[in-house]
A and B are shown apart, each in its own frame.
Chain A
């Protein structure tokens, strides 16, 4: 794979999609307000949970805020990259325009996963980082090199897992053109990621660790922030992330064999 070529192509993607998205400037402003309101809403909900209890699933309010911050960052990433691109797959498949993507001398997964960008998600990512910095302050976390690198590793693993799940579901549209709503189901499950996993009952915890690894997505990075995470959990997350990435890639290549172009 020629890295330089892909970087160059990506720069072009960025330029074209930013140019088209900035056509709707008020939209971006409204999306920013939505992101802020949504963060306020979830903190409000969290404060209801904590109003008469000091701990939920062993987490204090200040600690649960870290989960919230990481969720906001990941949600921002989803809104910036995954959502606009992967909704496009459905359109490609339904209208048969995937042909044009496949004909291009570039990796098809790269093309459909990164073609578009939604700039309003950036603000959400920034919002998440602000909240995280605030949490670092109120939880008195010492910033050290090992902490920074570990949190970087775990958060990037979370992004990989999240991407793989999204991509996996989008790929299934090659067979079932109309099951796009599966993404809505995924979104509602991901909602769980706003809360520490320990606050759920045992059966749900098992479900959300094995079937849909939401546990890995927000809880393990938050544990790293608090210095609570054992090494095996971090290693496990790295393994899960790579398994997910490889499987989603294999699945895409497999699914392409079944792609029969639509319309003209």
Chain B
């Protein structure tokens, strides 16, 4: 019964947010285009034959960066920016009265955006294959499912981290600058700009303990068929989610106690 009710809520939220997101098709298309940095990086790598030193062929590297692009497309999180705006405008107050954690609303928003984004990402991939026909491949079904799962887990990790940062809005008005700071290590260490295998030893020795390589590098390696440790990757992702979730709950409970309504 409770589960059923919960299900209905999620479904309604998703439906509302999806129709909302469809309104902003052009915006989302532009968002998708702005994610093409991995392709520029690929160009630097292959144009200077940098991949020879890390023993990845041109084809495998281009698949890697294409997958990195895909994983990034479906793990983009902006909850802190929405939440900051809502809390500054005083929109959080009505949400708090509802018998549903407002973060479910944002969660549904993100999922709906990903569904809207999917066709645009496919179009970009299509163009990528026109320019690089030799890198076309079809991953087998098991790998495909596993990489969808790991991309979703990566999205969950980022969503939890950003929700924790968003909760800081209860204490300071501008939590988004903290998020911008946290984004820098994510950008450089997650494997979006360079695969983690290419990192120097002194970074590789500790990076696998942090959540960063599991955000993009691991799912992208999995999907593109590059060498990766599947069981370690998935278990690390799950461990990080289990570590972050109680932290989020705690900060949420503390934060709502601190909440002072702003705006109207």
Contact = CB atoms under 8 A, between A and B. Distances in A.
Interface of A: 24, 26-27, 30-31, 33-34, 37-38, 41-42, 44-45, 47-49, 51-53, 56-57, 176, 178-182, 184-185, 187-188, 191-192, 195, 199-201, 204
A199 B47 contact: yes
Nearest to A120: B177
Nearest to A208: B40
Interface of B: 24, 26-27, 30-31, 33-37, 40, 43-44, 46-50, 52-53, 172-174, 177-178, 180-181, 184-185, 187-188, 193-194, 198-200, 203
A181 B27 contact: yes
B200 A188 contact: no
Contacts of B36: 188
Contacts of B172: 26
Given A37-B184, A48-B199, A184-B31, A53 B43 contact: no
Nearest to A41: B188
Nearest to B187: A41
Contacts of A57: 47-48
Given A195-B44, A200-B44, A34 B181 contact: yes
Grouping DSSP codes into helix (H, G, I), strand (E, B) and loop, the B interface class, with mixed when no group exceeds half, is helix
B200 A52 contact: no
Given A57-B48, A178-B24, A51 B53 contact: yes
A200 B31 contact: no
A57 B200 CA distance: 22
Grouping DSSP codes into helix (H, G, I), strand (E, B) and loop, the A interface class, with mixed when no group exceeds half, is helix
Given A37-B185, A179-B27, A48 B34 contact: no
Q: Which of B24, B184, B200, B203 has the most CB of A within 10 A?
A: B184
B192 to A, nearest CB: 10
A53 B53 contact: yes
- Top 8 A-B residue pairs of the complex, sorted by shortest distance between their CB atoms: A52-B53, A41-B188, A181-B30, A184-B34, A37-B184, A34-B181, A188-B34, A185-B34
A201 to B, nearest CB: 5
A44 B184 CA distance: 12
Contact of B35 (A24, A188, A200): A188
A184 B28 CA distance: 11
A45 B194 contact: yes
Contacts of B26: 176, 178-179, 181
A187 B34 contact: yes
B44 to A, nearest CB: 5
B34 to A, nearest CB: 4
A199 B48 contact: yes
A100 B82 CA distance: 28
B48 A53 contact: yes
B44 A33 contact: no
Given A51-B200, A185-B30, A185-B33, A56 B180 contact: no
A184 B35 CA distance: 9
A145 B199 CA distance: 41
A132 to B, nearest CB: 21
Nearest to B194: A48
B43 A200 contact: yes
